[in-house]
Every structure is written in structure tokens, then in C-alpha cells.
Chains A and B, each alone.
Chain A
């Protein structure tokens, strides 16, 4: 129910809108506008230079018949399915190790965080050297230490995605910091109580750490999946989607269509499908979250 506002409240409301207006304008012009425009373009033939022509659902029909659309979806899902869970496990393990009371801990934390501040392009160039099949350090070490002839990595249809997954662990520093904060928020009395009950380390981890961390795991899972569906820089810089489309990530395919082939309508349709996919996945995770996420504040589930 609306009550009559005092002049003071009215003025404050005016100021509120005044102060927030740059953001609102920015949002409308630079974010909402293009989003709506792209929805319109997705029903058009549009090459940027000549005016868009309405073609109805043609772009969406083409998409389902386009083998490269399915390839892009396959590549991206494969990457996502492996890199997200592995990334979560690895960063959780490292966070737990960094949560121990040992000397020089601050140094270790810094060392593990440092890689994630370097920009994507620089990292990509660095890893191109690491992965080079003939001169790269990775295959050199594989041979020296294990007498294994390493694969061709980025030049191999089978190994390019595993290579990019390995490379994605370079940036887990961000997640580690989040997990560390979460781990430090777990009340020690829970562990003490469990110890009195005779729980071993593994049981403590399974029955205290994991449930207490589950809201954070939910957050990183959602962000990880969204992020993995938007992989672009690595593929653009390192492989250009190759060899033979083996690293044709979804967003790279959108980019190619939009800014290299100037099929802006088709690229818009691809973007909207990506939006729907990410939305559905996120909804699915959120719907499933009551089953596995524990919130201390909610008493009964």
C-alpha cells in the first residue's frame, strides 16, 4: 500500500534516481539495447553493412542442420563436463592444504593465486610453448621422467581439449581464495565435537567440511559452468578452433560468424541458443540444490 510520502522522502527518491541514472542509462543503451537488438537480428539476414532483412525462423532452422553448431556444442560440453568438476576438486584440495597451520603459508597462498592475475592472451601464448609437441617443456618432461612420447596436444584432434582443460587449472587461484574464506568460516567446535565422537579426518571432511562448504560449491559450480560455456580467448589465440574443428568452442563459433563472416543474424541466433542453454543448466543446478546444499540458517528442509 502506498502512503503519502513526506517531502524529504520525495526528495531523496528524486536524488536516488538522479544518482543512479548514469548506471540506468548505461544499462539501457549498452546492455539492454544490444540484447533486444540481437533478438531482432536473430530473425534477420544481416551483414552489418546492408540493412537487416526479416527471414523469420530461418536462422534457427539452419542452426539445427549445421554440423558445426553441433560440433561447437559437443566441444564446449566436453570441456565443461571435465574442466568444471576437476577444477573444483583441485582448487578445494589446494585450499584445504593452504588452510593448514604450516610455516610460510602466506607465501604459498600468494604463489597459488598469482597465475590467475595474468591476462588470458599472455597465458595462452605461454601455454602454446609449453604444449609444443616437439620443443615444449611438457613433452620434454614426459620423456625425461616417464619415457613417454607425449601427444601433439594442440595439434591433435584428440588431445586439444584435454590440453585446454589442463591449462584451465592455471586460473584456479580465484576459486582457491573463495574456498579458503569458506573453510575459515567453519566453526572449529564442529570439528572438536566430531573428534570427541571419534570421527577420523576423512569422516570430518565428508560430514562437516563438505556440507558446510556446499553453498560455496554451488556458487563456484554455477560460475564455473557459465564461464566454461563462454571460453573464447584460449581457442582464439591458440588453436583458432582447430585442428579440424576439434576446439571449436561455442563462443568462438559465434565470433567467427559475427565478426569474420559477418553473418550477424546467424550469430545472434547462436547467442540466444547459448543463453537458453546456460539458463536451463543454471536453473537445473538451482532446482537440485536443496538436495545437496546445506544452509545453516534453514532448520528443516
Chain B
């Protein structure tokens, strides 16, 4: 019970409490704490930790904290933090939603003014133009590239040696390096080594998504403005050229499995993937994929190589580029501090650490030689050849549709399901493609409702 006698004690305690709490929050306010949301990639997290530690040491007024979540929880975490009013200050397209998805929901801050202001210190022209393009939404730059990946052919050189085949070319303009030639080589690399009637070494694994093979065969699943951040209204496959290109591409891919039998079926691929990244298992001769096929340590029992992606149709070459721009939350309390850290992560010194620790390429052109130095240590190619592959990979490229097309993941999950019967050898390409178009267009219509409000 309250007694008058004890009043002074209470008063003193109260005053003390308020002084301390206000005082401590004042001290706290001196230091801006910013959060960055990352995925639990075992290669990336140590690099991020190292960079955060370095940054915090040199920036006493800013404290960066990483929130690490499993890949599949990245988007739910990002969206729910946003809904709770406490978004991470920095995030990126680490999972399924792209920066365009974020931009359409008005989540990311436009960096144009910062980039103009700090143009000397960040040297924006050092970034590959395609990488900046891959961070641009309707003309506005929405992020600064941190991680980067490119598409090429990655091969197991030992298997080529064993079969007595010449390594594929690194030239992107070599007219003789065609899809048919690649299939021919793949046939020679496909082998039943132990003679049990089952193939245990496959010639080729083409991991490209549908929109990529549509590009390769001279078509496109989407209209050009869709890649600039305008929500698709329907697939561009009602244009005969695009339709025929994708149809041909699907036929060629299915033929790899069931006609030429040079690629693993879904069942076999599942087994191979459980052993590790397909190329590294030694079960596959050539892989068309992003350069993640050679990320991390490469097994020493094989020699490895890298080559240009062949012509599927004459005079057409377009592959996918994967840029990961770091975005700043539009509602962040510490936009300036977050920008400082984003700049730091994209700086040449940080990017060098990334190259060194993960053998990944940087979006900065000036660091290409560092990257080549790094990967030439385990590849059969000369440095000149590597230079040739990379310049082509960044010349004939367009940013990943997953990052640039609104609601991409939903559309992709539709076409992934719709093409299942094709990869399982149950249906013909035309039948699959026709229902696919109808179903994806329905999903697009649903997606449009999300932005029309």
C-alpha cells in the first residue's frame, strides 16, 4: 500500500529511471542500427559476416546487424517484417521475389540521386551495363549490384579427354559451334561404363528455364516492356515467331532425354542432385547453367573447363544474366546509413573478398582479371580464353526474368508443373505448350488484379 513516508524514495527511483532510460536512448540514438536480411547460404554468410565486422569497425556511428533466414523463408520473412512495420533496412532478391516485385509494391528506395551524388566514389560505369540494367525499374535504379552470375557451358574436361574429344570453343561467334554439334558431342560423352545396361555418364544437362530456351531459339515468352517492370498482360506466345521458337526449344529439350538419351531423366537427375551439384558429381559431361556450377571448391579428381553457349539457331544468341542488386527499404529510418553499407558491399575491396572466398564473379568490370586469376587456377582454359567467354557472357545477355518480370515465380510454378508430363515422356511438346499458355495467362490475369488496385 502506498504510504506518504516512502514517497521520497519512490520519487528518487522514478526520476532515476527516467534519466537513465532517456539517457541511454540518447546514447543509443548516436548509433544507427541497420539490419540486412540474408539467406543462409553457407558460402555467402561467412563473407557477409566478415564484411559487416570490417564495416562496423570503421564506422563507429553505424551498426550493421544481419538477419539470416533459410532460403525458403526469405520472402515470407521480408514480407512479414514489412507488414509489421519493421522492414529490414537492406534486402535483395535472395529468394523468389525479384526487385521488380518489390518496386511495384513500393518497397525499395530509388537510388538515382545517391548514385549521382556519389558518382566518383562508387564509379557506376565500372559495373557491367547489363548489371545496372538488371537493377533498373522503369528507368530508376533500385539497387546496387552485389552478387553476380552469368550463363555459360561448364564441362568436365577429363571426360572429354577420355573420349578423345576436343574441348568446346570459348568463342561466342564461332558459327560452327551449334546446338546440333553440342548434341553430337553429348552423344559421345554419354556412356554405360560398367556395362550393366544403364547409363552412368551423361553428355549434357541443360538447366535453362523456359524463357531462356525461348530466347536461345530466337523467341521470347514476354513482350519487351515486361522486362522493364511493366506487369505482363499475357504471354507473348500468341506471336507465331515466339510460339514456334519455344515449341522447337521444348522439342529439342525433350529429345535430349528420350531421343538422343544424352540427358538424365527427372528420376536420374534427382539421384545425381542428391550427390551434389550435377557437374561436380562427374556424372555429367557438359552443363548449361549459371556459373554456380563452378562455385566453391571443385573436386580435384577431374579437370574442368568453360565454354561459350552454342548457336541454337543461326545468328541468335541470348543468355541469362543474374544480378543481385542490394535494395534499401523505402521506409527505413536510416536510408543514408544503409546506403553507406550498400556502397561498402559493392565496393571493389569488398567485391575482391567475395571473389576470393567464393570464386564468384563481381559486377565490376575492373575486377574481371581478379576473377579470371581465381578461376584459372582450376580450369583448363587459358586466361585469354576465359576473357573471351566472359566478354561474350556479358555481351549476349539479358537480366534474369525472375528478377525483372512482375509475379514471375507464380508464372514459373505454373509452367514448371505444366511441363512435367513432357519431361516424363508422357506428352508431346505441342500439347503441353498449348495448355501451358492458357494456364500461365490465367495466372497472369490473377496477378494483374494484385497491381490494379
Contact = CB atoms under 8 A, between A and B. Distances in A.
Interface of A: 45, 47-50, 53, 62, 128-129, 132-135, 152, 155-157, 241-245, 256, 259-263
When A and B form their complex, which 7 residue pairs have the shortest distance between CB atoms, in order from nearest? Answer: A243-B420, A48-B79, A244-B420, A133-B267, A261-B410, A259-B76, A49-B105
A256 B79 CA distance: 15
A58 to B, nearest CB: 9
A243 B107 contact: no
Interface string B283-313: 0000000000000000000000000000000
Contacts of A128: 270, 274
B336 interface: no
Interface stretch (B4-12, B61-69, B445-453): B445-453
B449 A45 contact: yes
B413 A260 contact: yes
B125 interface: no
A50 B420 contact: no
B198 interface: yes
Given A45-B453, A49-B83, A152-B424, A263 B446 contact: yes
A261 B409 contact: yes
A134 B107 contact: no
Contacts of A47: 79, 105, 450
A155 B105 contact: no
A244 B409 contact: no
B194 to A, nearest CB: 14
Interface in B70-117: 75-76, 79-80, 82-83, 96-97, 105-107
A133 B75 CA distance: 33
B271 interface: yes
B136 to A, nearest CB: 21
B79 A49 contact: yes
A244 B267 contact: no
B268 interface: yes
Contact of A262 (B79, B418, B420): B79
Nearest to A236: B72
Contacts of A244: 417-418, 420-421
B266 interface: yes
Contacts of B409: 260-261
A134 B270 CA distance: 10
14 contacts: A45-B453, A47-B79, A48-B80, A48-B83, A49-B82, A50-B105, A53-B453, A132-B270, A155-B266, A242-B420, A243-B266, A245-B417, A256-B413, A259-B76
A53 B75 CA distance: 21
Contacts of A49: 79, 82-83, 105, 107
Best-buried of A157, A241, A244 by chain B (most CB within 10 Å): A244
A48 B79 CA distance: 6
Contacts of B80: 48
Contact of A157 (B265, B267, B421): B421
Given A152-B267, A157-B426, A261-B413, 7 more contacts: A50-B105, A132-B271, A134-B267, A242-B416, A244-B420, A245-B417, A262-B75
Contact of A156 (B198, B270, B424): B424
Contacts of B82: 48-49
B413 A155 contact: no
Nearest to B83: A48
A135 B453 CA distance: 51
B96 A260 contact: yes
A175 B421 CA distance: 37
Nearest to A65: B442
Contacts of A243: 266, 417, 420-421, 424
A10 to B, nearest CB: 20
Contacts of B418: 244
Contacts of A241: 417
Contacts of A45: 449-450, 453
A152 B265 CA distance: 11
Contacts of A62: 446
Interface string B257-291: 00000000111101100100000000000000000
B300 to A, nearest CB: 26
Contact of A242 (B107, B271, B417, B450): B417
Contacts of A53: 453
B270 A263 contact: no
A152 B271 CA distance: 13
Nearest to A248: B417
A50 B409 CA distance: 19
Contact of A155 (B97, B416, B424): B424
Interface in B396-453: 407, 409-410, 413, 416-418, 420-421, 424, 426, 446, 449-450, 453
Contacts of A135: 271
A126 B54 CA distance: 42
Contacts of A48: 79-80, 82-83
A261 B446 CA distance: 10
A259 B417 CA distance: 18
A134 B198 contact: yes
A241 B265 CA distance: 19
A260 B417 CA distance: 15
A286 to B, nearest CB: 36
Contacts of A129: 274
B88 to A, nearest CB: 13
